[in-house]
Structure 1
């Protein structure tokens, strides 16, 4: 008998109904994740389904990691050994990217394509705005704001049109001038993506869809392989995602979608509630089974009753709408009736001013603490429509001044943090020409607020460095300021390198010397400095800045501060969010309602009660939808604002476990008329009806996510220097980009092209002419991605290595099984990852090959490096055997630059040696998990800077710099 655990009858039905289409409508707190986990285990245990035959699409990567962790833990408890990491599990974006990567040669993309995030996309349009500004009718279509704002508007149009797969040529032929302008905008943008070998989040889906539609064999292989599909948060899917689901599930019809139509929040991203509402009608003869989950295990029954009533209250003061067929009718049932007299839904308000509201919130939290009801501040969460609003940041500042830490990473406070202002100020002081122009306000591109902010940064830096105890930092700044002001030649560093040199001095060195075990507020300055290095590193990449040159230093510096950082300042930057923590200990959380989706807290205070339903669509897009979308409009346009408003606050109210507090400043004309009926009915926290002493609050649930570790990216880095691992892996400081070493990458990629042709059975295409063609294509894509070139003799040498390899194979390609194989294995508390260059073999055994684009080394002199490679191969052998059950007979290093002798070094398979390497791998991972970063490299041969004179003068211990791929990891001092 299958062990269903504590599943109720509806959950059991959802778990064991695996054949055919299934719709699971899961209300808040009804055990959706529990059910999905059990359902996956049921498929594996009871139906003998292999993990690779299951696809699970989730809304966030964190949700995907949680599913993997919980499924593997459940299987381990049942003594079932399978490699769950073979399952297609992730967000729609990551799953589509996986399909694209596995079949890249059938897409418009070339190797080394770059994925644009939201800022990258907007910045791409901004930098190429000259291509858009002369389009006829562009000024009538866009607002009168600046170029950055107009670039944002263009991106919004582009993303909406892309997700709906609107025909760009049809738009350009439309009679409406505005629609014609949209078509021209989309055409230019698509040209930019093609030219730059780029892809953005909206086009990930369309590229994947076109790949499947245009290649019947690939589609059929995936349809045969993926027998069971489970789609989470289906109410937040869009048109193109629905198309991909039905394409992949077309053969078996074993498609299970899960969601809550009452929590559909992402219309602004193209999501449509129609997908979940129309899903059952996509199948004939009532084939789709609908299973409602309505028993809530999260919240006090008063809270459940309150948000049920909210969904029913659709008529009242000056508003009236009806759900009709735009909602599954449901009543959520509490798991048990509240056993306390006090209501679990109350209001906290002020009548005079905002200061009084601040005091009342503080008093409420203080009372909770003094009564012993709070064990941790993280039991409280404040929900707002926006955490960037001055009213919200004002409350956060007030609480922090009164000793209550606030966790609000999306409040755009990054540039206001002291450590960032000081970093920026010190950096600017090292470019005196720029500072002089700034003081004279000679920059047209900066507005008053930018001048004010930069001056605040400079004042903060001057105030700090002029203190006697900070003389060394002052000398450093003066020295580099003088050098940059009179620079005529070229330095060996740019902004990133300068930052890392600056970080050698206090207070930065103190901030960096952080114990990883401290709380989120204490580690926030370190995380922010790491994020600052990422920002600077991206600027250097986008603008091809590797070093300072006397001819360009002033121009690039103005570009950095007056354009790049200015745009980021205007747009706001979210601070670091640790997915390993649900809610950081010692802090109350300030979240947007959207951000809180899927979360739960013992005490939730919902604010932003002054909001009203607002129209969120443009009339132009309504016309485009009617003419060019692939299906007619669904919800009535005049009702949409009400539907979305009610769903938003339903989501907010249902986050609370033990106590829901509606809070507002009534002096600010809140709550609005839409909340008033319900708001007036509930008691105040200061009323006799509310007795805080009756409550017992749960602890915030712990997050248990398994992280991935690879031999090359993690074990090698940690063993070389644990302190460097802490900075570049744990804290995610951006390594300094050096001139990319693309020679080896070029050789590897072209050899992979050869292998792919062999695997496809196209051996006849492995000719010198085709090899040269693949080589040139890879070279051009690398040039675009790495912004660097190879001289002709180097290119010829690289090509010769590939041709020599093909000649040595002498047509014996049949033994090749897989190339560039991503292998992984889920362990008890982490995941091992690896990428194997080649797997080949005959007669039931396989051999693995790792290619090195260099001369075969001296076996004695390079003994340590070869031992490192041997351990890496042994980990790969272990992964192959655990993943496939195939026996590994040999492991090879293949040196492509070896001209005359045997290009290979071969290691035999030895079980005890592999077990030793795996045990060492496991030991290192657990040191990382325990945040043991005290080990320092003591190999003086690896030290690269500074000079011995400087070492003696400053009495500092320098850890080595090292190369990883094309990235230089600066020394840590």
Structure 2
């Protein structure tokens, strides 16, 4: 019998209710993730369901990683082996849709190497096309108004994303009489065309492309319907219309289990709709959908549970306009699992009449807590926005008084010393621009705030220059070169950025040990983020080097526009997913950011707020014309509902102590907020609380929990992790761990081009389209792949090199044309579950020859020989490949229940000798190899990155050669 362990009766019912539609209404702290994990294990172990038939959609990447970690740990604890976690579709909707697109790209209008845009990329892309494409549309001013160009781009982003998520296309909009909606339709049509032309995809259109594939390709839809027999959707209250369509399109069994809490619905502003969870049962015949309520809270002490229950239930008071939830809430009352152990109240308020006194009182409260907690990370402050003056002023005050604050979303990036110094050095490196901005010639673009910031940055950089003769000498040489540029250079901004790390003032940041806390790591993490921003600019403008022609334009575009937009929009700092809350700091989080988290002690701020409407009027108009659904919640009630849900989430994060905190000063909202803080909406709850007084309340009476262990199991790949670390641990640290963006070179493009085109050949074979594999079709695949790689990497290959690459593909096809029937599978993903990590890999080709199974890996290079590399390097290289293939063979045997006889490397660029290197399967070596790889992962996880390569060829192509003093 399946061991259900500590599960409650409600959880047991949820775990074992597998067939048919199920709605699990899971309140805060009721063991939702535990239930999901056990449900999946129950399906695999007890019911024998193939993991390949399970589809699990989560809301965030972190939630997906946590789910995979807990699934793999549970599999190990139950001694369930031979489960390839890669076979399970577990991830966010966007990642799962992207996986479907990627695996079936040949059916899509997109090409391989499609370019994924984040929010900034999308807005910057629209900005770059604003004048040439969008502002020419008749009546577009009815949408954009008289605003700055960056704001106009932001408006179009919001509208395009909203239309995509509501599945509203431009054709019907263009035919409407409304001048505004017609203009929007034309803009949307142009935008879609620009995306297709440049092979780009934005975040919201990932799902629409996936839905389009399923609608347009019946065979593909049938394949996935047969595969996804069981579907589980987490955080269902935060799904949107297109996600609901995807769910019901993919499922033909109706084995759909949705999990969520309508009281914690927060993402209407991103297109989410509460009706998905409230109307879920109505999608099926009456009585068919089982509803299970998880209401026993394991997180919070009774006082806290009582407080947020009261918040949701007592909404008809004399203090503010009363309202009823009616049918727009699933009725529930959360029940505390914990018993009340102390008399002291677990919900308090901390207030003062002025901001200054309030800061002092909050600090003193933290000081009083120090004797009862082990670390500051047990304390979290929640705000509607950590960018608000309330949050930033409090954070600055606490840090000045010795309390570290972790607030990555407070937009402090450009205020950090290391970033001011780097921006200042870049300004000084371009003396013509620097002189012009100081003379006010760019004032119209920069405006006073950014102009003052640049002045401050230059001042900070000059302090460094005056202290370091070598830095001063290097700067002057570059200034002289840049002042009268008459030739093309071999670098752009990124090249200069990396050169600066040869100097102690910047090397100091890079030397930071990753064993230190997040506050100490912040400078080097910010430098890595800055490298990515430079890479974005150079990528978006196709800038690989400075030339005599582009030099002046590039400078003004970078400083006047690109950095200005980043500065105005703000940049988030690094967030470490491996730690639940960084040690030595209190956490400052937005309420949205805190969703799904819990802390022993929670301060809730932003109590001056009142309900505000948070919908886009243009989108609302379009939806009324074209949406397939009538409006759901009463329009006048939406802002009230959303306000209540937001603070319900805030209050329910606390485990042992909840503190409502504010300075009770005059509010800015006049009569609407009754002139005081907190606003009228908090008054009845706030006024019922006891003010914290250290003479009356002793925190030593409380029993504060420790911060939850994140326990996220990382995934490591053979090539990008194991081999990369062994090649050079320092390089691995900089690129893979810290995330510095390398200056790309063309060396990787050749191999990618050959590999991708051979992959196209294999895909055609597996689709039983062998007759299509002609020289003409190979040319088509090759050219499409090259175009995609050029767009993606901003690199080009010489015509002769292109012919060589294409020749390698055609040679492979010619020599294997009579063996296509041996191909069993291509691009096979595999994984090993270890106690502390997941090791994964991908095999290029799986073949059969009679009863023999063979795996093959492709190398787009000449076959190495001892004469070419030297005997030591040759043995090292071949040994690494052999070890990797031995483990791949082992995993194939586990997955398919077959014996692998041979493992082969095929060198596509070998013309003179046998292009193969063949290894025989050696079972005795597998355990040894797995242990070796485990040892490498342990070094990575222990943050041991001191080893540096002695191979001059590796150093020559590495941007970190300046930092490592190996540039020469």
TM-score calculated relative to the size of structure 1? 0.95
Match of 1:891 in 2: 903
Q: Residues 166-187 of structure 1: CA distance to partner in whole angstroms, max 9, x if unpaired?
A: 0310011111111111111110
Aligned-residue offset at 1:970: 6.7
Match of 1:530 in 2: 528
Distance 2:201 2:892 in 1: 32
1:826 lines up with 2:866 in the alignment: no
Distance 2:621 2:734 in 1: 52
Q: 1:209-288 to 2 correspondence within 5 Å?
A: 209-250=211-252, 252-288=253-289
Distance 1:972 1:594 in 2: 41
Match of 2:33 in 1: 33
Residue 568 of structure 2: which of 567, 570, 573 is its match?
570
Match of 2:331 in 1: 329
Of 386-395 and 488-497, more deviation after overlay is shown by 488-497
Q: 1:305 to 1:580 in 2, by over 3 A?
A: same
Q: 1:323 to 1:741 in 2, by over 3 A?
A: same
Q: Residues 640-677 of structure 1: CA distance to partner in whole angstroms, max 9, x if unpaired?
A: 00110000000000000001100111113211011111
Distance 1:61 1:962 in 2: 32
Q: Residues 782-840 of structure 1: CA distance to partner in whole angstroms, max 9, x if unpaired?
A: 22222233333332222222222111113321110112223223222111122222111
Match of 2:964 in 1: 972
Alpha-carbon contact 1:851-1:896 (below 8 Å) kept: yes
Distance 1:878 1:494 in 2: 46
1:381 lines up with 2:350 in the alignment: no
Residue 800 of structure 1: which of 797, 807, 811 is its match?
807
Alpha-carbon contact 2:507-2:963 (below 8 Å) kept: no
Other structure's SS at 1:347 match: strand
1:790 lines up with 2:797 in the alignment: yes
Aligned-residue offset at 1:689: 6.0
Residue 883 of structure 2: which of 871, 889, 912 is its match?
871
Q: Residues 839-865 of structure 1: CA distance to partner in whole angstroms, max 9, x if unpaired?
A: 111344421112223333335433243
Match of 2:669 in 1: none
1:182 lines up with 2:184 in the alignment: yes
Match of 1:488 in 2: 486
Alpha-carbon contact 1:546-1:739 (below 8 Å) kept: no
Of 589-598 and 444-453, more deviation after overlay is shown by 444-453
Distance 1:798 1:2 in 2: 55
Distance 1:844 1:222 in 2: 30
Match of 1:499 in 2: 497
Q: Residues 12-64 of structure 1: CA distance to partner in whole angstroms, max 9, x if unpaired?
A: 11111111110000000111011111111111111011211111111111111
1:5 lines up with 2:38 in the alignment: no
Aligned-residue offset at 1:971: 6.2
1:17 lines up with 2:24 in the alignment: no
Question: Which consecutive unaligned segments of at least 5 residues does structure 1 have?
Answer: 944-959
1:581 lines up with 2:582 in the alignment: no
Distance 2:258 2:658 in 1: 30
Aligned-residue offset at 1:532: 1.0
Residue 173 of structure 1: which of 172, 175, 180 is its match?
175
Distance 1:687 1:477 in 2: 57
Distance 1:71 1:871 in 2: 28
Aligned-residue offset at 1:429: 1.1
Aligned-residue offset at 1:736: 1.7
Distance 2:323 2:473 in 1: 69
Aligned-residue offset at 1:458: 0.4
Residue 721 of structure 1: which of 705, 719, 728 is its match?
728
Other structure's SS at 1:894 match: strand
Aligned-residue offset at 1:432: 1.0
Distance 1:860 1:283 in 2: 70
Alpha-carbon contact 1:961-1:971 (below 8 Å) kept: no
Other structure's SS at 1:674 match: coil
Q: 1:346-745 to 2 correspondence within 5 Å?
A: 346-351=348-353, 353-369=354-370, 372-443=371-442, 444-467=444-467, 470-668=468-666, 669-686=676-693, 690-739=697-746, 741-745=748-752
Alpha-carbon contact 1:342-1:689 (below 8 Å) kept: no
Aligned-residue offset at 1:165: 0.6
Other structure's SS at 1:927 match: helix
Distance 1:618 1:568 in 2: 24
Aligned-residue offset at 1:139: 1.1
Distance 1:882 1:925 in 2: 22
Residue 942 of structure 2: which of 930, 940, 955 is its match?
930
TM-score calculated relative to the size of structure 2? 0.96
Question: Which consecutive unaligned segments of at least 5 residues does structure 2 have?
Answer: 667-675
Q: Residues 83-141 of structure 1: CA distance to partner in whole angstroms, max 9, x if unpaired?
A: 23321100000000111111111111101101110000000100000211121221122
Distance 1:84 1:796 in 2: 40
Distance 2:332 2:817 in 1: 68
Alpha-carbon contact 1:488-1:551 (below 8 Å) kept: no
Alpha-carbon contact 1:737-1:968 (below 8 Å) kept: no
Distance 2:960 2:159 in 1: 39
Q: Residues 330-357 of structure 1: CA distance to partner in whole angstroms, max 9, x if unpaired?
A: 1111113312111111111111x21111
Alpha-carbon contact 2:428-2:479 (below 8 Å) kept: yes
Aligned-residue offset at 1:688: 6.8
Distance 1:184 1:716 in 2: 50
Distance 2:223 2:912 in 1: 42
Alpha-carbon contact 1:684-1:690 (below 8 Å) kept: no
Distance 1:781 1:934 in 2: 37
Distance 2:366 2:836 in 1: 36
Of 574-583 and 539-548, more deviation after overlay is shown by 539-548
**Count of matched residue positions in the alignment of Structure 1 and Structure 2:** 947
CA RMSD of aligned residues (A): 1.7
Other structure's SS at 1:789 match: coil
Alpha-carbon contact 1:844-1:886 (below 8 Å) kept: no
Aligned-residue offset at 1:318: 4.2
Distance 2:7 2:497 in 1: 55
Other structure's SS at 2:73 match: helix
Match of 1:61 in 2: 61
Distance 2:303 2:28 in 1: 14
Distance 2:63 2:172 in 1: 39
Q: 1:844 to 1:297 in 2, by over 3 A?
A: farther
Distance 1:336 1:904 in 2: 65
Match of 2:302 in 1: 301
Match of 1:114 in 2: 115
Other structure's SS at 1:663 match: strand
Match of 2:130 in 1: 129
Alpha-carbon contact 1:736-1:968 (below 8 Å) kept: no
Aligned-residue offset at 1:472: 2.1
Q: 1:196-207 to 2 correspondence within 5 Å?
A: 196-207=198-209
Distance 2:103 2:177 in 1: 41
Distance 1:492 1:484 in 2: 13
